[in-house]
């Protein structure tokens, strides 16, 4: 029996933290870096960045990455974030939304 098969007693799902990665981008981000948390789920891996861009209406446009392994999910998340950040040369702090630091 693995951790994926334990009885959840009414909970819907379980995931395991694989790692937290810090990605530097001193050109576009005001603080110069963001983090990505990678979770192993029952069927795949999910990578969740701690930053996103505000949409036209001011609401956060969160991005995540998926993959069949940790590396694929991390690569997908980094590619998506960098693609979004690459739409401009520089972002102001009020144009970004950061997750709660306790989550990372």
Question: Which pTM was predicted?
Answer: 0.90
Mean pLDDT lowest among 18-22, 66-70, 76-80, 88-92: 88-92
Among residues 44, 46, 45, 48, the alpha carbon closest in space to that of 34 is found at 48
Q: Mind listing the pLDDT tens digit for each residue in 30-57?
A: 888 999 999 999 999 999 999 999 999 9
Q: What is the pLDDT of residue 60?
A: 97
For residue range 60-74, list pLDDT tens digits in order. Answer: 999 999 999 999 999
pLDDT exceeds 70 at position 100: yes
Read off the tokens for 98: 């950061």
- State the DSSP H helix or E strand holding residue 71, giving kind and residue range, or none if neither: helix 70-85
Name the strands in the sheet holding 33-40, side by side, starting at the edge strand that comes first in the sequence: 16-24, 33-40, 45-49, 65-67
Evaluate whether 17 touches 48 at the Cβ level (below 8 Å).
no
């Amino acid at each position: 029996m693995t951790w994926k098969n334990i009885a959840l007693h009414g909970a819907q799902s379980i995931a395991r933290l694989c790692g937290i990665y810090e990605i530097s981008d001193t050109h576009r981000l005001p603080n110069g870096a963001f983090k990505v948390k990678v979770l192993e789920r029952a069927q795949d891996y999910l990578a969740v960045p701690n930053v996103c861009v505000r949409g036209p209406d001011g609401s956060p446009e969160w991005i995540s990455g998926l993959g069949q392994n940790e590396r694929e999910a991390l690569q997908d998340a980094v590619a998506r974030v960098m693609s979004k950040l690459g739409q401009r040369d520089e972002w102001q702090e009020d144009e970004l939304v950061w997750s709660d630091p306790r989550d990372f």
